[in-house]
Amino acid sequence: MYRSISRNAHRRPACAERFIGHILEIANRENLPIHCHHWDLRQPLPNRLYQKYDCFFTDPPYTLQGMSLFVSRGITTLRKLKGLPIFLSFAHKSPDFMLSMHREFVRMGLTVDATLPRFNEYEGAEMIANRSQMIVLKTTGLTHPDITDCFADALYTGEVKRTLRTYRCKQCDHLLQVGIQGDVPTIEVLKNQGCPCCKHDMFQLVEKKVISLS
């Protein structure tokens, strides 16, 4: 059985319902066991979806925050078994970005089984050359979601570039600003570097401001 969860956390309800309706129409016509759920992934998934499935596919916003959120939500749906596949569609990024993303995989206890360049093709996505890569991940005995609570941080590329967020180190309470005018550009860079005072890598969002670029 395959279950689909709407990808875009901000997508207008009418648009999402149109996509879901199209999927269900095909499923009914072809007698396929497909069930769809329209869900805002900034909120934790309902308990009825927890630990039910053997794999999942996700095509998140092309930011590290988006990847971490969508993969974290997907992990909660997987059974507690080693070697379950996760299919992550993501834009081709710079080596530095990919290094940060692989660190996030390690943080969540995932291994990379395969990377397939230019696997997905899109219409009207010139900013990513109409292509994205498919990254196949595998679960381990240490796999866990990095994000379990409600998500309130920046999610999309435009949000990441236009916000200034204040984070508090969970160990020493040191405050740092993350964003285009902050101490570090993204929360992933901050996690990788650790707190400058105590080197702890867990932080709590305490404030977010939109920055005018005009």
Nearest CA among 100, 82, 65, 70 for reference residue 6: 70
Q: In the listed set 109, 139, 169, which residue is the last one of a domain according to the structure?
A: 139
Q: For residue 77, give the nearest of 62, 57, 99 by alpha carbon.
A: 57
What pLDDT shows up at residue 160? 64
Identify the domain boundary among 139, 166, 190: 139
Structurally, how many domains does the chain consist of? 2
Residues 48 and 112 in one domain: yes
pLDDT at res. 13: 53
pTM: 0.69
Q: What is the pLDDT of residues 85-112, one digit of tens each?
A: 999 999 888 888 899 899 999 999 999 9
59 lies in some domain: yes
Environment class of 109 (CB within 10 Å of its CB; exposed 0-12, middle 13-18, buried 19+): middle
- Asked whether residue 119 falls in the same domain as residue 181, the answer is no
- pLDDT above 50: residue 9: no
Domain that holds residue 200: 157-210
Tell me, yes or no, whether 173 lies in a domain.
Answer: yes
Tokens of 140: 């381990």
For residue range 18-46, list pLDDT tens digits in order: 888 999 999 999 999 998 888 899 999 99
User: So what's the pLDDT on residue 50?
Assistant: 95
Whole-number pLDDT of residue 161 = 63
**Whether the predicted pLDDT of 127 surpasses 70:** no
The pLDDT confidence band at residue 129, using thresholds 50, 70 and 90, is: low
**Pairing state between β 110-121 and 56-58:** unpaired
pLDDT-based confidence at 132, cuts 50/70/90? Answer: confident
Q: Please tell me whether residues 134 and 45 are part of one structural domain.
A: yes
Strands 34-37 and 110-121, bridge-based pairing: unpaired
- What is the pLDDT confidence band of residue 12, given thresholds at 50, 70 and 90? very low
pLDDT at 122 (0 to 100): 66
Task: Identify the pLDDT of residue 123.
Answer: 59
Say if 66 falls within a structural domain: yes
Residue 103 covered by a domain:
yes
Looking at residue 202, what is its pLDDT? 85
- The reply to whether 176 falls in a domain is yes
In tens, the pLDDT along 182-197 reads 788 777 678 878 899 9
pLDDT at 41: 93
**Shared-domain flag, residues 184 and 135:** no
Instruction: Write the DSSP assignment of the chain as a string of letters.
Output: -EEEE-S-TT--HHHHHHHHHHHHHHHHHHT--EEEE---TTSPPPGGGTT-BS-EEE---SSHHHHHHHHHHHHHHB-S-TT-EEEEEE----HHHHHHHHHHHHHTTEEEEEEEEEEEE-SS-GGGTTEEEEEEEEE-TT---S--S---S--SHHHHHHEEEEEEETTT--EEEEETTSSBS-HHHHHHH--TTT----EEEEEEEEPP--
Over residues 48-76, the pLDDT tens digits come to 999 999 999 999 988 888 999 999 999 99
Residues 6+ apart with CB under 8 A from 96: none
Q: Judge if 50 and 120 occupy the same domain.
A: yes
Q: Is residue 81 part of a domain?
A: yes
Verify that 54 and 133 share a domain, yes or no: yes
- Whether 48 and 108 map to the same domain: the answer is yes
Whether residue 166 sits in one domain with residue 110: no
Q: What is the pLDDT of residue 6?
A: 41
pLDDT in tens, 205-214: 888 887 764 4
